[in-house]
Amino acid sequence: MPSSSCCWILSVLFVIAVACETAAARGDDSKITPEDAEFFEQKIRPLLVQRCYSCHAEPNKIKGGLRLDSRGAWQKGGETGPALVPGKPAESLLIQAVRYGEADLQMPPTARLPDAEIALLEEWVRRGAPDPRDGSSVTIASAGDKADAARTHWAYQPLQHAKLPAVRDAAWPRDEIDLYILAALEERGLHPSRDADRHAWLRRVTFDLTGLPPTADEIRAFDDDRSNEAWEHVVDHLLASRAFGERWARPWLDLVGYADQIGSANNVPAEYAWRYRDYVIRSFQADKPFDVFVREQLAGDLLLADTLEQRQDQLTATGFLVLGNVNIVEADKLIMQMDIVDQQIEKFGKTFLGMTLNCARCHDHKFDPLTLRDYYGLTGIFASTDSTYKTERGVWSSVTTAVLPESFAQFTERETAQREHDKRVAAARDERAKADLRRKELEPQIAAAKANQAAAPPGAKPLVELEKELNDLNGRLNSINQRLLHLNYLWPAPPLAYSVKEGPGIFDARIQVRGNPHVLGESVPRGFVQVATHGPVPVLPPDRSGRVELAEWLTHASAPLLARVTVNRVWQRLFGRGIVASVDYFGVRGEAPTHPQLLDGLAGRFIGDGWSQKRLIRRIVLSRTYRQQSEVDDSSRPALAADPENRYLWRMSPRRLDAEMLRDAVLAVSGELRPIAGGPGLAPEFLENVGGLNPKDVNPISFSLNKFRDEQRFVRTIYLPVVRSSEQRGPADVLNFFDFAQPARISGDRPATTVASQALFLLNGPLLKEGSQKLATRLLSDAAVTTDDDRIGALYLRILNRVPSADDVALAREFLSAPSDSPDGAASADVDKSARWQRLIHALFASNEFLFRL
């Protein structure tokens, strides 16, 4: 019999479930998340319009009394009752009808929906049938009316330049950031926390800026620098390191939807994607002005260059538009093109404007001041740009590429590689010719042996031996032919990068009725998003796509959104939460900024500083706000009660290391991390990693991750291959456990989950085990560290980046002296000693103090 406490918990859960179901059934659109609203507008509304409205929407004749053109209508239901039971697809009449499970309940009556569309409806109901339609008649306002009405929303207003706030504790702030933070705290009766100790701040800022822990030398240098500029010296050193570019490039790649795979079908390799990744790392490391960086993403192929290296970067940069989860296997090329354009508009809107522009493909945006004309104005720009081309294999297409200009040294190096490659091809062909000649000799011998088995002369090879030799020879010939196909694939071609180019025809797009490119409405002139327009509007030339002008419009100093969105992303990466928490969505249903004047002040300074991300980051990490401790003590408990989510930054929020930080930190601490300057993530030089090499195959060349280069076990995680069609493999398996961004999505924020598999990975996975073994070997072979206390001190400094306390040392000694679990005599004293240190190191690696950046 269950206990009373168990019954109470079950009762509470039941009440919660009923309340949630009731709220879902009410369809209270105030509870609908932006993600659910986007899912409905993109996937469900167009489906209902195309498949159901002819019989179940006004002004048509309503069949069965059921309307599906508003939330209230389907909640009321028709002659057979409510059409949906939110959260329960199996109990929903609509789902039963589209599944065609019963002869007398089938919708639509003319033909069953495709499985993919049924799955979408099921997913919608499973989500609780979120439906933002309010049931009222809709009057579509003109673009101008909607834009004017929306200028009251904070995100669409010009940047505001407010006076600095007055504060009571004038001694605490170091700069303008601290003034705004302190003013908001004092307004709520709160106060900031104490400063973090020096080692905690050093560990925090080093991880945040480089994704790596501080080295023992860096810790000692900071300890020895007692000047007032010590913090500035640390930050400037970190910003100048290559590790900064490697760390800060990764969030940008999340927004791109980067992977070393084209789309997600058939494991098609994106064999040149690494050049875009390396370009982003170089750009962030060089502190390329962000407005220049953005212009290169959208129109690099159309910009003028002063140097060969700049031209290489410009062409590579436009990979931004094509390196997402594009579908290249669609037989209907018009649908494929428009879906890719839709993805480009989605990426453009989320990344640069914090807007869900693609929700206006089928109709005016439900919540935001975005109209069909806004969407199709952008469609004309992107549809006038070539992103894909049809291949010779089946229905497949591929992503467009550009040949990068080469320096004389690069050209000479490639010519040398081509000569070596030609030698290998010649050797393989010679080997094939000899094998083929021997096969031609064997075939008549076998025929003769079969005909004259009884009268075979003495000493002649038996038939069985001849046939075995022929079989072996055929296998060898197949292997040689595969090798030749592989060599042909690996031919040292001129350097290529995924890029876009102007299309053969420049045109204004026509509205696609219900998002269907085969059903067209009126033509819409190419143009920009009206509500985000504040400064001069560039004139679109009739003979060019308009991407250059789009980039100019976006990066103009009077345009508020790009600077706001970018500054907010930087803030989120340093504090764990943006000033606007919904970092990808600044629309009317997104989060309001907690410190709007601070956001605008930083955005204005960002533009004024020449769009320098390094100067922005430097300013933030040197603030007193960033320097606060993360621990909650007696003095900060009232703040914890008043602001448990730390929205107003009364302390620094602790954050777990992300997947890349965790792996890179273990490699760095164990002495195994190897710096490289980039290069391909995939390893096509191994034949077992490449399939579909025969040009007669219907499907394109494919890749697998059966074999990695030896050095890939020791490089930073950003240089490892990323795939969409499966879990991450090999050295990158840690990404599967610690909330790595889904490369099929465009997202500026990663979830933070805590699940049992993470603990199991830390306990049993190879990452921490191998790292512990390597570090123990180094520690015990270090002649400069001879006592156990010295070794414990060295470990704490390397792993936790601080000096151990007396209690820490005592606990470690006790751990090391605990009885061994090895059988008596099973190992030598040295092996047992090493194993004890390995276990101690493993325990420190798995501790929260290592796993969290505090």
CB of 91 closer than 8 Å to CB of 125: no
644 has pLDDT over 80: yes
CB of 342 closer than 8 Å to CB of 359: no
Name the residue with tokens 């297409």.
Answer: 397
27 has pLDDT over 70: no
Chain centroid offset of residue 520 CA: 34
pLDDT attached to residue 818 = 84
pLDDT attached to residue 111 = 78
18 has pLDDT over 50: no
Q: Residue 76: pLDDT band by 50, 70, 90 thresholds? A: confident
Q: b vs e for 396-413, b when ≥16 Cβ sit within 10 Å of the residue's Cβ? A: bbbbbbbebbeeeeeeee
Most confident of 34-43, 92-101, 143-152, 430-439: 430-439
Most confident of 5-9, 20-24, 263-267, 378-382: 378-382
Name the residue with tokens 């993403």.
Answer: 297
The span from the CA of 352 to the CA of 357, in Å, is 11
High-pLDDT (> 90) share of the chain, %: 70
Q: Residue 137: pLDDT band by 50, 70, 90 thresholds? A: very low
Q: Residue 290: pLDDT band by 50, 70, 90 thresholds? A: very high
648 has pLDDT over 90: yes
CB of 706 closer than 8 Å to CB of 689: yes
pLDDT attached to residue 536 = 86
Q: Is 515 left (phi over 0), alpha (psi -120 to 50) or beta?
A: left
Chain centroid offset of residue 598 CA: 28
The span from the CA of 235 to the CA of 626, in Å, is 13
The span from the CA of 177 to the CA of 193, in Å, is 15
619 has pLDDT over 60: yes
Structure tokens belonging to residue 842: 């493993």
Q: Residue 151: pLDDT band by 50, 70, 90 thresholds? A: low
120 has pLDDT over 80: yes
Most confident of 73-77, 346-350, 828-832: 346-350
The span from the CA of 312 to the CA of 309, in Å, is 5
pLDDT attached to residue 21 = 40
Q: What angle do CA 761, 748, 382 make, to 5 degrees?
A: 130
Positive or negative: CA dihedral 709, 712, 717, 718: negative
The span from the CA of 301 to the CA of 305, in Å, is 10
When mean pLDDT is compared across 95-99, 194-198, 402-406, 736-740, the lowest value belongs to 95-99
Task: Look at residue 314 and give its three-state secondary structure.
Answer: helix
- Residue 304: count of CB within 10 angstroms of its CB: 7
pLDDT attached to residue 805 = 96
Read off φ and ψ for residue 353, nearest 5 degrees. Answer: -115, -15
Per-residue H/E/C for 183-221: HHHHHCCCCCCCECCHHHHHHHHHHHHHCCCCCHHHHHH
Q: Residue 139: pLDDT band by 50, 70, 90 thresholds? A: very low
Q: Residue 81: pLDDT band by 50, 70, 90 thresholds? A: confident
When mean pLDDT is compared across 235-239, 407-411, 438-442, 622-626, the lowest value belongs to 438-442
The model carries a pTM of 0.85
The residue that leads in pLDDT, 111 or 727, is: 727
pLDDT in tens, 700-713: 999 999 999 999 99
Task: Look at residue 583 and give its three-state secondary structure.
Answer: coil
Structure tokens belonging to residue 119: 């799955």
The candidate with the shortest Cα–Cα distance to 761, out of 727, 792, 718, 794, is: 727
Mean pLDDT of the chain: 89
Q: Residue 43: pLDDT band by 50, 70, 90 thresholds? A: confident
pLDDT attached to residue 5 = 36
When mean pLDDT is compared across 21-25, 483-487, 523-527, 776-780, the lowest value belongs to 21-25
The span from the CA of 240 to the CA of 236, in Å, is 6
Structure tokens belonging to residue 778: 């180094």
pLDDT in tens, 723-752: 998 889 999 999 999 999 999 889 999 989
Positive or negative: CA dihedral 670, 676, 681, 684: negative
When mean pLDDT is compared across 374-383, 513-522, 569-578, the lowest value belongs to 513-522
pLDDT attached to residue 531 = 92
Structure tokens belonging to residue 108: 């639509």
Q: What share of the chain is helix, strand, coil (3-state, %, to 5)?
A: 55, 5, 40
Structure tokens belonging to residue 85: 């039971």
pLDDT in tens, 258-286: 999 999 878 999 999 999 999 999 999 99
58 has pLDDT over 80: no
| DSSP label at residue 512 | E
pLDDT in tens, 305-334: 999 999 999 999 999 999 999 999 888 999
Q: Is 342 left (phi over 0), alpha (psi -120 to 50) or beta?
A: alpha
